[in-house]
Structure 1
Amino acid sequence: MSKYKKLALSVLLDALGYVSIVFPPFDFVWAPASALIMTKLYKGKEGKVAAVVSFIEEALPFLDVIPTFTFMWLYTYVLNPKKEETMIEV
């Protein structure tokens, strides 16, 4: 997956997290789902740490506004560009 497709998906997933602002019970489903998706999108130790952060952020009330997926994309492709050089684009 190209990094820009991953960015678009990250923004979409962050927007999906906003559903729980209107319908709070959605967090019971979305918190573990977002953690699983995070580990699939971002591999390695960073992905696992981001999954834990995503789970906590989605499970706790009023933290849903934090764009965790987008922040992880920024970390991966902007703040840590050396890792990008070793990634294979498909």
Structure 2
Amino acid sequence: MNKYKILGWSILFDALGFVSLVFPPFDFIWAPLSAYLMTKLYKGKEGKIAAIISFVEEALPFLDVVPTFSLMWLYTYVLKSSTVTNKA
């Protein structure tokens, strides 16, 4: 999947996380679903770790403002890529 398409999905999923600020019971559905979606968008060990972080962040109150999916995109396609380029 194209990295910009993943960015679009990430922004959408982060926006969905804000729903629980208005409707708190949404967290019961969204927390496990966000963890699952994180593993589908971001593969490997990093994706699994991000899924755990996403689950905890969505399950705990008042942390829904953290854009976990977008931060993972930045890590994967900006920070991690520049680190690999600098090592070469």
TM-score of the two chains, using structure 2 as the length reference: 0.92
RMSD: 1.7
Q: Deviations over 1:37-68 (max 9, x none)?
A: 00010000000000000000000000000000
Q: What is the aligned partner in structure 2 of residue 62 from structure 1?
A: 62
Residues 17-32 of structure 1 mapped to structure 2, 5 A cutoff: 17-32=17-32
Distance 1:14 1:84 in 2: 27
SS in 1 for 2:63: coil
Q: Give the aligned length.
A: 85
- Identity percentage over the alignment? 71
Runs of 5+ consecutive residues of structure 2 not aligned to the other structure:
none
For 2:45, give the aligned amino acid. K
Runs of 4+ aligned structure 1 residues displaced above 3 Å come to 82-85
TM-score of the two chains, using structure 1 as the length reference: 0.90
Q: What is the aligned partner in structure 1 of residue 40 from structure 2?
A: 40
Residues 75-86 of structure 1 mapped to structure 2, 5 A cutoff: 75-81=75-81
Q: What is the aligned partner in structure 2 of residue 88 from structure 1?
A: none
